[in-house]
Chains A and B, each alone.
Chain A
Amino acid sequence: MRLMAQMGMVMNLDKCIGCHTCSVTCKQAWTNRSGVEYVWFNNVETRPGQGYPRTYEDQERWKGGWVVGRGGRLQLRTGSRLRRLMTIFSNPVQPSMGDYYEPWTYDYDTLLNAPVQEHTPVARPESMITGKPMKVEWSANWDDDLGGAPELTQADPVLRKISAEVKEKFEQTYMFYLPRICEHCINPSCAASCPSGAIYKREEDGIVLVDQDRCRGWRMCVTGCPYKKIYFNHRTGKAEKCTFCFPRVEVGIPTVCSETCVGRLRCMGIVLYDADRVLEAGSTPDPQDLQDAQRSLILDPEDPEVIRAARRAGIAEDWIDAAQRSPIYALINRYQVALPLHPEYRTMPMVWYIPPLSPVVDALTETGHDGEEAGNLFGAIESLRIPVEYLAELFTAGDTDRVTRVLRKLGAMRSYMRDLNLGRPAQESIAEAVGMTGRDVEDMHRLLAIAKYEDRYVIPTAHSEHGPGGEEYASGCSLDYDGGPGMGGPDGGWGPFGETSGGTTPIAVENFHMLAQRQTTDTIAAPRDKSQRVNLLNWDGKGAPERLFPRRDGEARPTDEPTGGGTQPGEPGSLDHDPTSGDPEPRP
């Protein structure tokens, strides 16, 4: 038994309101740079719908993930290693920009600089790829809230798998949101497809990352990932992916998407698993059994045998403790209400989902029945085949029984807790009907419905004795790395071969400069006079900072450019034009 710790997430789909806060905050944190305009490490799809990129779930077409080949051996769907290398000059199955969408902005200048005129000026969309005016025809969320249904939903690869009669009624009966990030798979096919070996899984927490210094832009990983969660940065020529916010996780705070989730529906924690049995579990012949195989990989952290093995593997005590309190272990293995997304891709994904029950309750209530009465609910789950079949295609490789079992547990929780909330005696029989105890149901309710911050996120911090410290720790000044602060920044920090070249900047520093730049700019590219502007966000209202107003013609220029403080653009000092600090220059 070779024990490893793995960071994971469970999302409770019942509570997702499709607000896209997670996507937006993630984008602000990670992909607000040029080259990744079209990239959403976190995206929220309306189901049924085509997803992002379009129809990515159609593996006949996109060839992602693993398959069981001849002799029961696991192999990538794209074939042998040689076969992949023969196609590196032109990847036959790489999604094009059109399958994601062509990112655009608007020509806001027209609005700002339009003369007085009779008709309201219009800002036309402009492509962020070519800079030319374009017609907006698709986006990451074009079919949000079933927009364009039923025409667009016809192309949903999941819907295609279920029967025609079900398909027709679908749009009227059921809709839910599916937030997606990288699954940080236990057996990542992206890493297996990478010719350079640049994609790796971290030993300590299982987070899958792309080494930007070793990536050579071969693009095989984009095809390899069945969830299409590897993106190609077209400016730097490197692959990028969700990082599970490792700089945050290392210091014990949840990912940005989890932290900002309005529905508070994401749980994060670690599990301990047996790395020696991953291949065996991934090669399980029947895809419907895959999730149980994966569940069996995930070990019971209370088992003394497992604890001993964990200590032998060098896993620290606080990590073992975190594994015991892990909300995701509870939802995946103890209550068994979480399901993996598309287990049939055989990558052993580690972001699991609790399927939504609310639509069933709603449908029931609409018919005039009591939607929270256990008997009614159980009956409805059995008879409402449509949502169950669809959910089964998403989460259990088509096995409706497993979905039904989970929905029954969720239904039981509702009825059981309603009795308690209304001051009625608890009906243990409801819990028993789904193979749980009243105590379990209450615990589960606490985790899913009350969802306290400290219950949702049990994230052990990275250990400094394992290395020089987490990315965000930077004990001491985070700027005193090789090359110093002058290196950083989106401008001025370019190497001799354009923005892609030169050493990498620590994320904290890069974000710092990025923020500084965004606060002081109002164009999509860095304006020439950016360093001479005043950042009003940092102005406390006292005095008149230098350059708050444009200079009058003929006025003498004060000493050297660009700021009186002697700082250079891109250096941290230029961020705050502190008006109260002693400024030797005469004020106009």
Chain B
Amino acid sequence: MNPLDVVLWVVVPYVAMAVFVVGHYWRYRYDKFGWTTRSSQLYESRLLRWGSPLFHFGILAALGGHVVGLGIPTSWTEAAGIPEHAYHVVAVGLGAVAGIGTIAGLAILIYRRRTVGPVFSATTRNDKLMYVLLTTTILLGLSNTVLGNFVGEGVDYRHTVSPWFRGLFYFSPKPELMAEAGLGYQLHALSACALFAAWPFTRLVHVFSAPLGYFTRPYIVYRSRTPQLGSRATARGWDRVGSSRR
């Protein structure tokens, strides 16, 4: 096994995953105040009205596609009686629609960010880095779908990329599979790793705030004044009386 392959397809993904998980924990623990979508709708909404839903719904569909494509082994779909060809046609069709929606939305959003004065001045360096990583990953992903299926011979990612990806999760990495996967998929995987490593430190954290609890909670939230509103931290049970906390 080539050591470079091990670094690229074992070390890099694991490091990215670790940073992703620990980073989120750390950010949530220490920076709840900074955890927000930081919406720019107040500045401009005409372009946002098109760009944002296109992008977000597109990327949600793409996420669904990835879950199915990477998570479900070929053997399962075959056992379910879905012919490989039919699966492929559906996947490529939906993937292309989602991808094009995402790209169109992203293009509108980036155009808006650059040209609308207030939005541009509210853009931080962190945002710019995030946009580069996100756009690169999405473009590479879409080009794999388009080039692989409409232009040239398709790479069979379900027998290379997917098993490799699943292998990472049950700790039996198979870097040799990824080495065969073709440059397009390799670059897409690497840029995704970079994106995931940066994720917890950007505004992308808002993904994990998807407000699903809204469906089940009562409309009006009542809360007691009690917890931690004061300037001092609440005393812990084991703090000695007369110490700085009590």
Contact = CB atoms under 8 A, between A and B. Distances in A.
Contacts of B45: 90-91, 94, 96
Contact of B222 (A203, A216, A219, A480): A203
Given A129-B43, A188-B220, A191-B219, A90 B244 contact: no
A213 interface: yes
Interface stretch (A355-363, A383-391, A463-471): A463-471
A474 B231 contact: yes
A201 B221 CA distance: 6
Given A204-B225, A467-B226, A474-B231, A480 B37 contact: no
Contact of A503 (B30, B121, B224): B30
A213 B36 CA distance: 9
Given A89-B56, A237-B36, A219 B30 contact: no
B56 A467 contact: no
B122 A468 contact: no
A508 interface: yes
A199 to B, nearest CB: 7
Interface stretch (B76-84, B158-166, B207-215): B207-215
A158 interface: no
B171 interface: no
A84 B30 CA distance: 30
A219 B117 CA distance: 21
Most buried by B among A82, A201, A218: A218
Interface string B39-50: 111111100110
A202 interface: yes
Interface stretch (A22-30, A317-325, A415-423, A492-500): A492-500
Interface in B38-75: 38-45, 48-49, 52-53, 55-57
Contacts of A214: 32
A470 B215 contact: no
A468 B219 contact: no
B128 to A, nearest CB: 13
Given A202-B223, A215-B36, A467 B231 contact: no
Contacts of B122: 234-235
Interface string A109-139: 0000000000000000000011110000000
Most buried by B among A89, A213, A481: A89
A216 B42 contact: no
A197 interface: yes
Nearest to A204: B225
A502 interface: yes
Contacts of B214: 81, 84-85, 195-197
Contacts of B48: 90
A362 to B, nearest CB: 41
Nearest to B203: A237
B60 to A, nearest CB: 10
Nearest to B221: A200
Given A197-B214, A216-B206, A234-B122, A466 B225 contact: yes
A500 B38 contact: yes
A462 B229 CA distance: 12
B217 interface: yes
Contacts of A236: 33, 36, 38
**For this complex, into which size category does the number of interface residues on chain A fall?**
35 or more
A217 B38 contact: yes
Most buried by B among A234, A462, A503: A234
A497 B44 CA distance: 23
A309 interface: no
A519 interface: no
A129 B232 contact: no
B153 interface: no
A475 B214 CA distance: 38
B41 A90 contact: yes
Contact of B224 (A129, A466, A474): A466
A462 B225 contact: yes
A203 B234 contact: no
Nearest to B229: A471
Contacts of A469: 230-232
B118 A97 contact: yes
A195 B48 CA distance: 20
Given A90-B48, A191-B219, A480 B43 contact: no
Interface string A58-92: 00000000000000000000000110110011111
A192 B220 contact: yes
B172 interface: no
B154 interface: no
Contacts of B149: none
Given A96-B45, A466-B224, A232 B33 contact: no
A158 B217 CA distance: 35
B42 A89 contact: no
B244 A480 contact: yes
A566 interface: no
A498 B127 CA distance: 11
Contacts of B34: 495, 497-498, 500-502
A212 B228 CA distance: 13
Contact of A216 (B40, B121, B209): B209
Identify the 6 closest CB pairs spanning chains A and B, nearest first: A501-B34, A195-B211, A237-B38, A467-B226, A237-B36, A192-B219
12 contacts: A89-B53, A91-B45, A94-B42, A96-B42, A97-B42, A203-B223, A204-B225, A213-B33, A217-B37, A232-B39, A469-B231, A471-B231
Given A470-B229, A501-B33, 10 more contacts: A82-B215, A84-B214, A96-B45, A197-B221, A217-B36, A219-B39, A473-B231, A474-B232, A478-B231, A498-B124
